[in-house]
Amino acid sequence: DAKTTQPNSMESNEEEPVHLPCNHSTISGTDYIHWYRQLPSQGPEYVIHGLTSNVNNRMASLAIAEDRKSSTLILHRATLRDAAVYYCILRDTSDTSGTYKYIFGTGTRLKVLA
Amino acid sequence: NAGVMQNPRHLVRRRGQEARLRCSPMKGHSHVYWYRQLPEEGLKFMVYLQKENIIDESGMPKERFSAEFPKEGPSILRIQQVVRGDSAAYFCASSPGPPRGTEAFFGQGTRLTVV
């Protein structure tokens, strides 16, 4: 049911930027793009979300393609604490069922090398 | 502002017993979601509740599982007559509602072990 596609795993060196891609070719006009991450033995942690424009916050940046069929989560300087599974999720705010539930895919496991 | 609180963090039950998992949403949040995560797998949606209402239970097993979110108090996920296959991490999330683009916040989970 997941409507996004992400690489299973990626590696990055510490202190370097990381670009985590996500494809969502079936995105609709009302779908927000959300990113969460899950550190080992913890609950998912909200990272960032956006609709059409690029977004920045203290944790990361979200770059959204002009056609919205893909997006990239950017960690500007990876640290060992950023090692986690990153999930890209579409959340339909026009959901007629009124659920607005998140459907998690398998995510990208990010490994940060010291 | 405290985050989503789940308790207990760890729960051990013998086969056939009942498990009760509690979730207190963030202050001001009236929407609660429950998810289950089996070892080495992703999160699977179970149920979505608002105060005193079940909105979507499409992910709930048909038997032994139930959820509630009373007017007062935490949301409860109840598993009756637990079996080994119920061993998993159970996460709840809360959000203020369905305004456009709001995010949900997750608790640290309850890890259920059935022996």
Q: Do B91 and A44 touch (CB under 8 A)?
A: yes
**For chain A, what percent of residues have pLDDT higher than 90?**
71
Of all residues in chain B, what percent carry a pLDDT higher than 90? 76
| φ, ψ (nearest 5 deg) of residue A50 | -160, 170
Looking at the complex, report in whole angstroms how far the Cα of residue B53 sits from the nearest Cα belonging to chain A: 12
Integer Cα distance of B57 and B46 in angstroms = 6
Give the closest residue to B108 by CA, choosing from B21, B28, B49.
B21
Q: How far apart are CA A104 and CA B3, in angstroms?
A: 21
Q: What is the pLDDT of residues B54-100, one digit of tens each?
A: 988 999 999 999 999 999 999 999 999 999 999 999 999 998 876 54
| CA B54, chain centre distance (Å) | 13
pLDDT value of residue B39: 85
B101 pLDDT band, cuts 50/70/90, is low
From B4's Cα to the closest Cα of chain A, the distance in A is 10
Q: Could you tell me how many CB contacts below 8 A there are between chain A and chain B?
A: 60
pLDDT classification of A94: cutoffs 50, 70, 90: low
The predicted-structure confidence for A40-66, as pLDDT tens digits, reads as follows 889 999 999 999 989 999 999 999 999
Q: How many C-beta neighbours within 10 Å does residue A27 have?
A: 21
Q: Under an 8 A CB cutoff, do A46 and B35 touch?
A: no
Q: Can you give the pLDDT at residue A98?
A: 60
**Residues ≥6 apart with Cβ < 8 Å to B67:** B34, B46, B47, B49, B54, B57, B60, B75, B76, B77, B78
For the record, the structure tokens of A110 come out as 């990010």
Which amino acid, residue A45?
A: E
Q: What is the pLDDT of residue B9?
A: 96
> Is pLDDT at A69 greater than 90 in this prediction?
yes
Taking residues B5-23, report their average pLDDT. 98
CA angle, B42 as apex, A28 and B73 as ends, to 5°? Answer: 90
Identify the closest residue of chain A to B92 by CA–CA distance.
A43
